[in-house]
Amino acid sequence: MMRLYKVYHRLSPFSSSCCCLLHPFSLGNARFPSSTLRSFRHLRTHSTNLFKPAMSASRFNRLVPVNSALAEDGSAAGNGSANASLTFAEDDDESVIGVKYRVPPPEIRDIVDAPPLPALSFSPLRDKILFMKRRSLPPLAELARPEEKLAGLRIDGKCNTRSRMSFYTGIGIHSLMPDGSLGPETEVRGLPDGAKINFVTWSNDGKHLAFSVRFEEEESSSSKLRVWVADVETGMARPLFQSPDIYLNAVFDNYVWVDNSTLLVCTIPLSRGDPPKKPLVPSGPKIQSNEQKTIVQVRTFQDLLKDEYDEDLFDYYATSQLVLASLDGKVKEVGSPAIYTSLDPSPDEKYILISSIHRPYSFIVPCGRFPKKVDLWTADGNFVRELCDLPLAEDIPIASNSVRNGMRSLNWRADKPSTLYWAETQDGGDAKVEVSPRDIVYTQPAEPQEGEEPEILHKLDLRYGGISWCDDSLALVYESWYKTRRTRTWVISPGSKDVSPRILFDRSSEDVYSDPGSPMLRRTSTGNYVIAKLRKENDDATYLLLNGNGATPEGDIPFLDLFDINTGSKERIWESDKEKYYESVVALLSDQKEGDIHINDLKILTSKESKTENTQYYIQSWPDKKLCQITDFPHPYPQLASLQKDMIRYERKDGVQLTATLYLPPGYDPSKDGPLPCLVWSYPGEFKSKDAAGQVRGSPNEFAGIGPTSALLWLARRFAILSGPTIPIIGEGDEEANDRYVEQLVASAEAAVEEVIRRGVAHPNKIAVGGHSYGAFMTANLLAHAPHLFCCGIARSGAYNRTLTPFGFQNEDRTLWEATNTYVEMSPFMSANRIKKPILLIHGEEDNNAGTLTMQSDRFFNALKGHGALCRLVILPFESHGYSARESIMHVLWETDRWLQKHCVSNTSEVSADIGKSKDGEGKEVTDIENKAVAASGGGGAELSDDIESGQFHSKPRSLM
């Protein structure tokens, strides 16, 4: 079951540069192509790294599984959680050292404490909607609970699940009436007081819900999870297992509906005893060896196994016993205890793909690269055959598009009862190897005839990226190559060997203006999704629905095209209102029946919002295109309802067109009020061409969502906010983007500052710069190399010394030894002696990001302090790469507000009254540094290089919603 999350600042722990979750829609227990399943399963089971900066404007990137728990980086938890140590400092002590947790001024605090909206989920039959209720920010006490850091995971031993999970506090069920209105709420009842709900899934027929429940057993401790089921018509819930001793193991996959009355559940083995005890004296030294001279290059992964004790502890928590449980109470153990990572029933419900990992483990890579075994079982739990057993993959090259060797993306064809397909690399998984074909896609029945070999479905010269299935006459195969940004879509006929594959689209992935959209999918009776075919009266043509963002120089104008797959002709049947509103197609709803959809029976779910109006959801029906509003969410922060938002365009000195979103406080008039203090908040992006870098992404009409640490909160403090100004780092041709990082970074910042000053909205001497993660890296570099632009900086969870991440970072594929100058000269740590403007460093003490170890901020602060810089370092206990506890977030806001008031609002020094000074004097040194720099990391991808699944994450077509 999939869930769509609006990407807003509202719940983002990282501010505007990262994605977050808000009033999502889920659309039943969807089963998707392997490329998407792999990334979604990762999200579902790895609750600590859900959030990555939203560098793409595609709303499709906002999908995560409904049964994934909200992670620490986006937790939605309770308001009344501030502990007694929280106080608001009215004074402004010069040092403010050793303070307790503080809270920001009321105008900021009230916005952050606004209650969150519920998450929404459609039933498989589209006749009911769940409203899953949430609390706001969690208390720090929840983050302080003990956790085990093992094999790249963080595990809550008391719950036997990923640590720091958020939860739902209740579920309301509404019927969707024929006129589009919602019926009265039926509350899921029968739950224990204080129940914490996770992993909500529909049965395929929509009659039952399954979910996990935990509740407080005693102060500051949580119980293990139990599986519950609820009758959708009555709302009555009960435990799935009659025995109180059967608990859910949710470290990896947790449970799946095998059919409408049976679940396959990962349980904690009943025979499991106490956790292994750490020996007081080790059995021997810790030894790693490379006597075979194997080349192994890995990034700086966190939370890895360290010794034999960690290996035993990982086994203890991750090992599950699979249990088949029927709604009538029947329980049957199947298979032996093992570390099961995924469970995937076939469309005809006869088979189950069972993935597991096993020893030997590794001390240098996370569990996603451990030996992996995939078996085929019958639905009643009998072993059929082994499909693959992949060895430990420590040596996956760091180059983009490098993958694990052997079978990957193994999955069921969505249009067949029980047919498997997968991809195998022909380059050994190494993207630097030139070979044709590079990937081959194979297919085979679940139980082939004796001697029947896998059939070659398609050969690809780029890296395989997934398949959208339709039927034997039509499937779309995706391939792409990051280095060139090339992406291709192939049309194949899986059941007709005499029909040659042909290229449907061949384009640059970063050329958003040419994006034709992605085919919309319809849900089948088996719960899978296939390409929707449409037909017209008296017309034999085969039509698809292409759902696109509609990027234009004026901003995104989403569309829905009727596309003839044979001729390529298009007819636009729906388009967003481009004058005031931003609308998008969220999902296809007219898919209750099998077969082609008649155009007059078309029904879609859309969203609609404006600069000042919260997103609402609508159902639109053909042929009259009648529109029915199904939600009426209130404005989350009415005090900023009349804020001003404008998408602005300007030009960099080398001719590259840049864009940014300028926000101004309610009621502000530059002609009367004069220039304001300004906060510039951004995140660099990496491109292969100037034209692509200059394209407009996003819409000026999108709702201005504000998250707990968003820069937009300072609109309430009468700041101008320049959000997400384009900071393109361009590497054309054979040039690497990082080869001119500093030069391009400074040029982009100069253009942005010049523009807000020219508009009269920003005071030249009161412009601050800030960012999170790679944006923090950007901030430090700008204060080092462009001190003429900014009065101060705010850098959260950043990396400042790239020699500490020697085997690549962000999208840099070269190692420290291959590009020494790049690593050294792009690192603001190496220019700490040049930073003279005040800089506030904030970092989570438990940062698990592969690129931003907490010691990065610690060492950078010491370097700054060693040169007398005005700096401050705030380390947040228990927090990871993003911040989630209310105490932490409030204190971050207090620190940020104090810094801005002290070093921006009150700034009287000459900063950028004459930007032209950058051409000589102080600026000459900057230019010299820029000319020397072989530059820094690109930002096309997130600083969060989690890579738990060996880098095999692929974007999926937006139509899979």
pLDDT at 19 over 50: no
Q: Which residues contact 328 (CB under 8 A, 6 or more apart)?
A: 261
pLDDT-derived band at 81, boundaries 50, 70, 90: very low
Q: Residue 221, CB half-sphere, CA atoms under 13 Å: how many?
A: 7
d(CA 454, CA 436): 20
Taking the whole predicted model, whether its pTM rises above 0.75 is answered as: yes
pLDDT at 95 over 80: no
Q: Which residues are catalytic?
A: 773, 847, 881
> Quick one: 382 exposed, middle or buried, by C-beta within 10 A (0-12, 13-18, 19+)?
exposed
Q: Which residues contact 625 (CB under 8 A, 6 or more apart)?
A: 574
> Quick one: 272 exposed, middle or buried, by C-beta within 10 A (0-12, 13-18, 19+)?
middle
What does the pLDDT read at residue 7?
31
pLDDT-derived band at 97, boundaries 50, 70, 90: low
pLDDT at 383 over 80: yes
Q: In Å, what is the CA distance from 669 to each residue of 94, 643, 672, 776?
A: 34, 12, 5, 31
- 638-905: what fold? Rossmann fold (3.40.50)
DSSP 8-class letter at 644? E
| Tokens describing residue 498 | 């005499």
Please give the single-letter amino acid code of residue 776.
A
| Tokens describing residue 728 | 């393109």
pLDDT digits (tens, 9 = 90+) for 673-687: 999 999 999 999 999
What does the pLDDT read at residue 500?
95
What does the pLDDT read at residue 82?
36
Mean pLDDT of 696-720: 95
Q: Residue 569, CB half-sphere, CA atoms under 13 Å: how many?
A: 4
Measured on CA atoms in the order 483, 484, 485, 488, is the torsion positive or negative?
A: negative
Q: In 10 A of CB 497, how many CB atoms?
A: 9
What does the pLDDT read at residue 217?
61
pLDDT digits (tens, 9 = 90+) for 223-278: 899 999 999 999 999 999 999 999 999 999 999 999 999 999 999 999 999 999 99
pLDDT digits (tens, 9 = 90+) for 38-73: 333 332 333 333 223 333 333 333 223 333 333 333
Please give the single-letter amino acid code of residue 842.
I
Reduce the DSSP state of residue 492 to 3 states and report it.
Answer: strand
| Tokens describing residue 824 | 């050294």
pLDDT at 927 over 80: no
What residue spans define the domains of the chain? Answer: 638-905
Among 602, 603, 552, 561, which Cα is nearest to 582's? 552
Instruction: Supply φ then ψ for residue 737, to 5 degrees.
Output: -55, -35
Are residues 49 and 946 in contact, defined by beta-carbon separation less than 8 angstroms? yes
What does the pLDDT read at residue 591?
80
pLDDT digits (tens, 9 = 90+) for 868-915: 999 999 999 999 999 999 999 999 999 999 999 999 999 887 765 455
| Tokens describing residue 949 | 């699944």
